[in-house]
Amino acid sequence: MKGKKSIDWPAYLFMLPALIIYISVIVFPVFYSLYVSLHKWNGIGEMEFIGLSNYVKLITQDDIFLIAIKNNAIWIVLTVAFITAISLGFAVILNKQFKGRTFFRGFFYFPAVIAPIAVAIIWRWIYNPNIGFINEFFGAIGLDFKQNWISNPETSLYAIFIAALWQGIGQPMIIFLAGLQTVPVEVLEAATIDGAGSVRKFIHVTIPMMKETFIIVLATLIVAALKVFDVIQGLTGGGPNNSTQMLSTYMYSQTFKYANVGTGTAISVIMVLIMIFIIVPYVSFTAKED
């Protein structure tokens, strides 16, 4: 074997394929987007350098951009509050020993296997004001409660969130289940002997021991919430009247519908900046653990 001081080139060879693909697909586009965002460009013709104008316009003049920021913030809060809590609850229940556990795990995970765009289509049907499930159901139990759930700007964002929640529980639930397996049985037994009830055991033993799990769940959920696209695009496309516009859908329509590619890439660069800001604590935590 080689001495420790000389560089072990074959070791780097193992990393090389991942590195090449990663740089070409992830790293290069970020810088290229940054470059495009400093230009006025329709995607076909010549690029015209305009400095930070795209950013300045977005922040100072574009009301839809501000709506998108606000909606993304609401979406992140809803996701962190509800999806984390509910998926943890599911994981705790499905971690108990009982007959049919595997079935129920699979059952509640099932929505996560459907394409998000298809989930959006299903829910558009459920929310159909005339013959959708919800209004039919209220009709069937004798309540006159018909609503235009997704075409009403007041309710549409929350209506979409319900659809996202239905699908979004599966993945964090599995990660929480994996995390629950890492809590040593002996520690829980010791707590029982010390007279701790199951609620106290959960709060004072299980949750602290699942710190890593919480961090990865929160990090992935926040990232996903900032990127949310499919379910919005499929249900409302950002409407009605931009009331469900997100950074991702606005970026998409600016770039591909209105051919304001400079503005579109500027939005995507802003998304990266927000992401870095949110995610630095996570990365530094993961690095420290080493």
Partner 1 sequence: MITAKKIRFIKFLMLYLILIALALLWIIPIFTLISTALKNKQDFYSGISLFALPDVLAWDNFTNAITQGRLLTYMKNDLIISGFKVPLGIFVESLAAFALTRLNIKHRTKWFVFFLIGMMLPMQTALVPINVVYNKLKLTNTYFGLFYVYVGFGISFGILILRGFMKGIPKDIDEAAYIDGCTKWQLYYRIIMPITKPAVATLMITDFLATWNEYLLASVIINDNAKKTVPVGLMTFVGEHGTDYGYLCAGVLISVIPVLVVYLAFQRYFVEGMAGAVKA
Per CB under 8 A, contacts with partner 1 among 230-259 are 230, 233-234, 247-248, 251-252, 255-256
Taken as a whole, the chain contains a residue count of 290
* Residue 142 binds partner 1 (CB under 8 A): no
Instruction: Out of 80, 218, 223, 259, name the contact with partner 1 by CB under 8 A.
Output: 223
* Residue 54 binds partner 1 (CB under 8 A): no
DSSP β-bridge partners for residue 39: 49
Question: Which strand (E) or helix (H) includes residue 49?
Answer: strand 48-49
**Interface mask toward partner 1 for 70-109; x: CB under 8 A:** --------------------x--x--x-x---x-x-xxxx
Residues 3-22 that bind partner 1 (CB under 8 A): 4, 7-8, 10-12, 14-15, 17-19, 21-22
Angle CA(190)–CA(196)–CA(200) in degrees, nearest 5? 115
* Residue 265 binds partner 1 (CB under 8 A): yes
* Residue 68 binds partner 1 (CB under 8 A): no
* Residue 112 binds partner 1 (CB under 8 A): yes
Instruction: Out of 49, 212, 241, 257, name the contact with partner 1 by CB under 8 A.
Output: 212
* Residue 160 binds partner 1 (CB under 8 A): no
Which SS3 state, helix, strand or coil, does residue 39 take?
Answer: strand
- Report whether 149 contacts 240 (CB < 8 A): no
Minimum CB separation of residue 238 from partner 1 in Å reads 14
Structure tokens at 98: 């009982």
Minimum CB separation of residue 135 from partner 1 in Å reads 10
* Nearest partner of 162 among 78, 84, 69, judged by Cα: 78
- In the DSSP assignment, the letter for residue 240 is S
Nearer to partner 1, 11 or 199 (CB): 11
User: How many CA atoms within 13 Å lie on the side-chain side of 145?
Assistant: 14
- Report whether 129 contacts 155 (CB < 8 A): no
